[in-house]
C-alpha cells in the first residue's frame, strides 16, 4: 500500500507518520511506501518498515498535485492548510492554500482516470459552523461559517462530496475539534491559546490568556486526531453513503474548566503562570465559534475521543513531556 500525506510536516502529520511507522499496516494492509509532502521538509521516521519519500513544494501551484498523485497512492491524507488566524489576516493566502490547493489536488486525482479511485481523508474543521448555535450542534445543523478559514473548509467539504459522488475518489471529511494540547511553539491559529495556557505552564513558562474564562469550546487531543484519521481511512463507502463529512467527537469545556483541570493535575503553582491579557481580535473571532456538539453519527461509526480535560492534559504529559512537568 502506498500512502500520501499532504501537510505531513505539520504536527498532526508527523504524529500520523509515526503511528504508521509503528503499526506498519493500515487496516490490515501492509504499507510499502509513504510519501510525505509539505512546503517544508518533513523528517522520515527512524526504523520505519516502509520506504519514505519527502517532497517539498506548494500544492496550490499548477502541476504540483499532478506530480504527487502520478504514483497512484492508495490512500491520501489531506492535512495541509493555513490556520484560522492567518487565513483571516491574509485573505489571498488563505484562499490560495485552503481552496486552490485542495481543488488542485482533487482535479489531479480526477485527471488520472483509468479507474483510479483512492481513499481520500480530508481534515475539515468545526469552523464550518457559525453562531447562533443550539445547545449542542447535531448532525443536521447547517454550515454558516463566520470566518474565511471556515468558508474555505466548507467549500472543501462540498467539493469532496461531489467528487466522491462522481467516483473520482472515495472521500471522507472529518471536522476536527480544536486539537489540544498542541506540542511545540505557538502558531498563528486564533485557537492557539487553548493549548498555550496548558503547554507553557507545564514547561515552566508564562502563558497569555486573551479571552474570558467563560469561553467554551470543543477539544480533542493530538492522539485522538491521529486515531480519527486512521479510523476514517478504513470506513466503507456504504457506511458513509452520500453524506461524506462528519463532525468528530470531543469534549466541551470552558477556559475556566481547562484551568481547573490543570490545577488538579499539576497544582496551583503551575496555574499561576497564566497571565490575563484580553485581545479584542481573538475575542471577536472566538465569539463566532461552536462550543458543543452531539456527534452521534461519528460515534455510531466508531470514532472516540477523551472523556475529561484532565485526560487530555495527561495525554500531553505522557506523549510530549516524558511523563514529567515543571511544578
Q: What is the rounded CA–CA span in Å between residue 140 and residue 295?
A: 10
Write down the pLDDT at residue 184.
87
Of 95, 116, 129, 149, which one is the catalytic site residue?
149
Write down the pLDDT at residue 189.
76
How confident is the model over 250-283, as pLDDT tens digits? 999 999 999 999 999 999 999 999 999 999 988 9
Write down the pLDDT at residue 288.
82
How big is the CA angle at 75 (ends 70 and 80), to the nearest 5 degrees?
85
Note whether residue 314 is domain-resident. no
Query: If you ran DSSP here, which 8-state letter would residue 233 be given?
Result: H
Q: CB-based contacts of 261: which residues, under 8 Å, 6+ apart?
A: 253, 308, 309, 310, 312, 313
Please give the tally of structural domains in the chain. Answer: 1
Q: What is the rounded CA–CA span in Å between residue 97 and residue 82?
A: 6
Q: What is the rounded CA–CA span in Å between residue 77 and residue 171?
A: 10
Of 17, 88, 1, which Cα lies nearest the Cα of 230? 17
C-alpha cell at 132: 447562533
Query: If you ran DSSP here, which 8-state letter would residue 245 be given?
Result: E
How confident is the model over 90-107, as pLDDT tens digits? 999 999 999 999 999 999
Note whether residue 149 is domain-resident. yes
Q: Which ranges of 118-235 does DSSP label H, i.e. alpha helix?
A: 148-165, 192-202, 222-233
Task: Cell 453562531: give the residue.
Answer: 131
Write down the pLDDT at residue 287.
85
Of 274, 227, 236, 235, which Cα lies nearest the Cα of 255? 274
Long-range Cβ contacts of 15-20 (<8 Å, 24+ apart): 15/222, 15/223, 15/225, 15/226, 16/77, 16/79, 16/226, 16/229, 16/230, 17/42, 17/45, 17/52, 18/45, 19/226, 19/230, 20/48, 20/50
Note whether residue 35 is domain-resident. yes
Query: Strand 29-30 vs strand 25-26: parallel, antiparallel, or unpaired?
Result: antiparallel
Task: Cell 514529567: give the residue.
Answer: 324
Note whether residue 117 is domain-resident. yes
Note whether residue 64 is domain-resident. yes
List the single range of 52-61, 153-162, 187-196 with lowest mean pLDDT.
187-196
| Burial class of residue 70 (count of CB atoms within 10 Å of its CB; 0-12, 13-18, 19+) | exposed
Q: What is the rounded CA–CA span in Å between residue 268 and residue 257?
A: 14
Residue 163 annotated as catalytic: no
Q: What is the mean pLDDT of the chain?
A: 95
- List strands edge to edge, sheet with 216-220: 178-179, 216-220, 251-254
What CATH number does residue 90 fall under? 3.40.50.720
Note whether residue 152 is domain-resident. yes
The DSSP annotation for 165-191 comes to: HTTS-EEEEEEE-EE-SPPSS--S-TT
Note whether residue 234 is domain-resident. yes
* Residue 23 confidence (pLDDT) above 80: yes
The domain in which residue 76 lies consists of 2-177+221-247
- Confidence tier at 242 by pLDDT (50, 70, 90): very high
Would you call 246 helix, strand, or coil by DSSP?
strand
Q: Pick left, alpha or beta for residue 44 (phi over 0 → left; psi -120 to 50 → alpha; otherwise beta).
A: beta
* Residue 18 confidence (pLDDT) above 80: yes
What value does the mean pLDDT take over residues 12-27? 97
Q: What is the rounded CA–CA span in Å between residue 127 and residue 132?
A: 13
Q: What is the rounded CA–CA span in Å between residue 323 and residue 183?
A: 14
C-alpha cell at 106: 482533487
Note whether residue 207 is domain-resident. no
Amino acid at each position: 500500500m502506498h500512502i500520501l500525506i499532504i501537510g505531513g510536516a505539520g504536527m498532526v502529520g508527523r504524529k500520523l507518520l509515526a503511528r504508521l511507522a509503528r503499526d506498519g499496516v493500515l487496516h490490515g494492509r501492509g504499507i510499502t511506501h509513504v510519501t510525505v509532502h509539505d512546503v517544508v521538509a518533513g523528517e522520515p521516521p527512524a526504523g520505519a518498515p516502509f520506504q519514505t519519500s519527502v517532497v517539498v513544494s506548494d500544492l496550490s501551484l499548477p502541476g504540483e498535485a499532478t506530480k504527487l498523485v502520478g504514483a497512484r497512492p492508495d490512500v491520501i491524507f489531506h492535512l495541509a492548510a493555513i490556520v484560522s488566524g492567518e487565513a483571516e489576516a491574509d485573505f489571498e493566502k488563505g484562499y490560495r492554500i485552503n481552496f486552490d490547493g485542495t481543488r488542485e489536488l482533487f482535479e489531479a486525482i480526477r485527471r488520472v482516470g483509468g479507474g483510479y479511485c483512492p481513499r481520500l481523508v480530508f481534515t475539515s474543521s468545526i469552523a464550518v459552523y457559525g453562531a447562533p448555535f443550539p445547545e449542542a450542534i447535531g448532525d443536521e445543523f447547517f454550515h454558516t461559517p463566520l470566518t474565511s478559514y471556515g468558508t474555505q473548509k466548507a467549500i472543501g467539504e462540498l467539493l469532496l462530496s461531489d467528487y466522491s459522488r462522481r467516483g473520482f475518489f472515495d472521500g471522507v471529511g472529518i471536522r476536527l475539534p480544536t486539537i489540544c494540547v498542541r506540542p511545540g511553539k505557538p502558531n498563528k491559529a486564533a485557537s492557539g491559546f487553548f493549548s498555550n495556557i496548558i503547554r507553557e505552564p507545564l514547561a515552566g513558562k508564562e502563558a497569555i490568556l486573551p479571552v474570558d474564562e467563560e469561553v467554551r469550546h470543543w477539544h480533542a487531543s493530538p492522539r485522538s486526531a491521529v486515531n480519527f484519521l486512521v479510523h476514517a481511512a478504513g470506513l466503507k463507502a456504504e457506511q458513509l453513503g452520500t453524506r461524506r463529512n462528519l463532525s468528530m467527537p470531543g469534549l466541551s469545556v470552558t477556559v475556566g474548566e481547562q484551568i481547573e483541570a490543570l490545577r488538579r493535575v499539576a497544582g496551583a503553582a503551575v496555574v499561576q503562570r497564566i497571565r490575563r491579557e484580553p485581545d479584542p481580535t481573538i475575542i471577536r473571532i472566538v465569539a463566532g465559534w461552536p462550543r458543543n456538539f452531539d456527534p452521534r453519527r461519528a460515534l455510531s461509526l466508531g470514532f472516540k475521543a477523551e472523556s475529561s480535560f484532565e485526560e487530555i492534559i495527561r495525554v500531553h504529559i505522557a506523549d510530549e513531556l516524558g511523563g514529567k512537568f515543571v511544578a
